[in-house]
Structure 1
Amino acid sequence: MFTTRGMRTAAVGALAIGTIALLAGCGTSSGNSAGGGEEQTELGDTEGQVSILAWPGYVEDGSNDPTVDWVSGFEEKTGCTVTSKSYGTSDEAVSLMKTGDYDVVAASGDATLRLIAAGDVAPVNTDLIPNYAGIYDFLKDKEWNSVDGQSYGVPHGYGANLLMYNTDEVSPAPTSWSAVFDDASEYSGKVTAYDSPIYIADAAVYLMAHQPDLGIENPYALDETQFAAAVDLLKAQREHVGEYWSDYLKEIQAFETGDSVVGTTWQVIQNVLASEDAATEVVLPEEGATGWSDTWMIASEAKNPNCAYAWLDWIASPEANAQATAYFGEAPSSDAACDYRDDCEAYHAGDADYASKIWYWTTPIADCVDGRTDVECVDYAQWTQAWAEIKG
């Protein structure tokens, strides 16, 4: 069994305004033409090498920790030697993919649509990836990894942005995000929130339930009125926030010291605190939550496409996926992977009802991702500007 050893080590970065403008102009409704390259129809001989761009902890070959290695087995099986580079933000990943130096990228939902719209990644033929069949259906063919029914990648792992609270200080146990919004004054100065423009979507999730007249259907598709309501909610919250966090170590410390008693977190952070007997618990609030689902994608001009396909199949295989997602601190992409982990229950792996309550990070663009065509939605460049105003 593999237990959680790593952390999600990078937060969502600010998106480049120029790239957002490209997305706003291109939209994501042009089918296969939205991405570059052609869908591969059959596999050929492997090329002997593959270059991978990924989050830290996604491509481990034992050099960082001899006990953490799912790359060597891939190289032995396929003959494809792996070279890899880690990136720190989604914005960095989008920029690096434009160099043409990488065959494969692991991208979060705030980057995938940009890569597709820019033509930097190719449609993926999932029939050439045997392990794709075992991946949870609720991760397939979603707005962050496909366009008009065409897949652009293979789901890797996923997780929710949960509500954490100090069980000694917060009573009764919260079941709603109201603890950090409308009721935040009860814990003023000890509320914590995720430090990123994408956190505006968390406010939108709350408003979907508590101000239905706004008509929000998707927290990443906000028109001017809906967006203004979310920003106002966050500005009201601001006076009660003691710390915005993006470094998981700082959030762990804040809950250990009592500087924070309620706020956004990840399951892996709660696992660490629980192992230290901290007085904390987490809950997926009744309104639902935001979260992430990462996708393995192939460059439109990949120099080693057959090794790239081999990697996508390998990393989706139960044992490799179990190792990678456990080390990173997230749920795996298949039930079969849970045969190699002992913590799937903690991550609610495979729980479709639980997963349905997660709004996975998706790049907000002017062409509303909820399908509306009668209005223009606020794009991420504006989200970034608003976030700076919210924090002051």
Structure 2
Amino acid sequence: MIVTHDRNSRFHGRRNKALLTGLLAATLALTACGTAGGNPVPSVGYQGFTPPSLPALGRLGQPEGRLSVLAWPGYAEDGSDDPKVDWVTPFEQQSGCKVDVKAFGTSDDAISLMKTGQYDVVSASGDASLRLIAAGDVEPVNTSLVPNYADVFGFLKNQPWNSVDGTPYGIPHGWGANLLTWRTDKVSPAPTSWSVLFDPNSKYKGRITAYDSPIYIADAALYLRAHRPDLGIKNPYALDSTQFQAAVDLLKKQRPLVSDYWSDYLTESRSLTTAGAVVGTAWQMTVNVTKDDGVPLESTVPSEGATGWSDTWMVASRSQHKTCAYLWLNYIVSPKVNAQVAEYFGEAPANAKACAATVDPTHCATYHAADAAYASKIAYWTTPISQCLDGRTDVKCEDYGAWTQAWADIKG
């Protein structure tokens, strides 16, 4: 998932767009071809997916004095970018742990960086978390050492992207949906189905914007689950060879309809504002920012449902600063800080008590933070693995390596 610091313009305008656009532009090619840091992203052997046997921390010790944080931009602000936006310094003062923050641009970047063993904690999206677990780069988390975990919404806990066989591997942090958005002055009637993007006869051919990532194959699978029941798709991240090929074929047919693919919200916002795009898949913050610029835009979760993300803070198995790591996990999901990050980042907070701490009293309503029914419509990003995540054992499913190769072929 590509993100930026500056999602909710109602609080901090358009600061840092140039800097972040440069960062994001530098990673677009990596996302499209499934590379990180210029190196091919390995396809981890998930056969049977038995995680390495790693223990969770049993008890907290004396804080080690240092913590290296690997995070999506906007998740670990230290005031260096904006003195008014700083939740790292208070943590340092409270814990005695000096924090170094490294921002990454894509999940594949995070995978490569974690392999160096230089980081103690990472904020991982669902398209990265299982890869980190399978590689042994992160370890189970002892949630009893994270008191604020008790207040995390139940529908975010023990999910396929943050746990394995009931063992938690991280602390949920925030989440959001990949919405269908459209310009109300250009698109009529208001669409209620993803068919407006996938129908080869869509009247908006050449004016459609779509997400640029191998994980977008899941959006096609989600659509096929509703419109091709004969394929038997249950989970858009668990696709056998036949189901996978159907999703790939659909995206190849969609390719001529798409005017541009985006990996950061600024690119899509510009497309919807001035570049001729009128409909596409988007994040809630994209909708908010673009509407704030005066563009008549609306969005919805279509009848077929939607994909989305739920990010998780995870502890590196090779960390030498695990007490500091746990203090960070508890701090970053505390009500006040989780509220600050959620507003700054533009997502729903994970901590239920954070909703009472947001500056904007409507933030949680806008992002459906406490709405379990809304959340149930979302198929959260989960790393595709060869062991089918829908429970089938008589077939193998296509893993993330296959998804990456297929995406390069789709894009051409």
TM-score of Structure 1 vs Structure 2, range by shorter chain: over 0.9
> d(CA) in 1 for partners of 2:78 and 2:43?
38
User: Partner of 1:201: helix, strand, or coil?
Assistant: helix
Q: How many pairs were matched up? A: 387
Change (3 A) 1:2 1:238: closer
Which has the higher mean CA deviation after the structures are superposed, 125-134 or 75-84? Answer: 75-84
Greater shift in the superposed pair: 321-330 or 215-224: 321-330
Q: Residues 1-392 of structure 1: matches in 2 within 5 Å?
A: 5=12, 13=31, 14=34, 20-25=42-47, 27-28=48-49, 30=50, 34-35=51-52, 37-182=54-199, 185-257=202-274, 259-341=276-358, 342=360, 343-392=363-412
1:183, CA displacement in angstroms?
6.2
Q: Following TM superposition, by how much is the alpha carbon of 1:172 offset from its aligned partner in structure 2, in angstroms?
A: 0.9
Q: Gaps (5+ residues) in structure 2? A: 1-7
Q: What is the CA-CA distance between 1:329 and the residue it aligns to? A: 1.4
* CA 288–353 in structure 1, closer or farther in 2 if over 3 Å, else same: same
Deviation at 1:131, TM superposition (A): 0.1
Cα distance change, pair 188–18 in 1 and its aligned pair in 2 (3 A): closer
Q: Shift in Å at residue 382 of structure 1?
A: 1.6
Does the aligned pair in 2 maintain the 1:161–1:291 contact within 8 Å?
A: yes
| Offset of residue 344 of structure 1 | 1.6
Segments of structure 1 that go 5 or more residues without pairing to the other structure are none
Q: For the Cα contact (< 8 Å) 2:200–2:253, is it kept in 1?
A: no
State how far apart, in whole Å, the 1-side matches of 2:269 and 2:9 are: 23
Q: What residue number does 2:5 align with?
A: none
Distance in 2, matches of 1:243 and 1:226, equals 26
**CA drift at 1:184:** 5.2
Letter in 2 for 1:63: S
Which amino acid is 2:403 matched to? Answer: W
TM-align CA RMSD: 2.1
Letter in 1 for 2:229: P
Where has structure 1 moved over 3 Å in runs of 4 or more? 1-13, 15-21
Distance 1:56 1:116, change over 3 A: same
Shift of the alpha carbon at 1:18?
7.2
Cα shift at 1:225:
0.8
Residue 98 of structure 1 aligns with an amino acid whose one-letter code is K
Amino acid at match of 2:392: R
The separation in 1 between residues aligned to 2:407 and 2:144, in whole angstroms, is 42
- Deviations 1:144-201 (CA, angstroms, capped at 9, x unpaired): 1101100000011111110010101111111110111126521111011111111110
8 Å CA contact retained: 2:153, 2:350: yes
Q: Tell me which amino acid in the other structure corresponds to 2:235.
A: N
SS at match of 1:157: strand
TM-score by length of structure 1 reads: 0.94
Asked if structure 2 preserves the Cα contact closer than 8 Å seen for 1:223 and 1:377, the reply is yes
Contact 1:35 1:123 in 2 (8 A): no
In the TM superposition, residue 322 of structure 1 has moved relative to its aligned partner by 1.0
Q: TM-score, normalised by structure 2?
A: 0.89
Asked if the contact 1:120–1:299 (Cα under 8 Å) also holds between the matched residues in 2, the reply is: yes
Q: Deviations over 1:9-41 (max 9, x none)?
A: 86793267976532334x42x3xxx14631112
Distance 1:4 1:141 in 2: 33
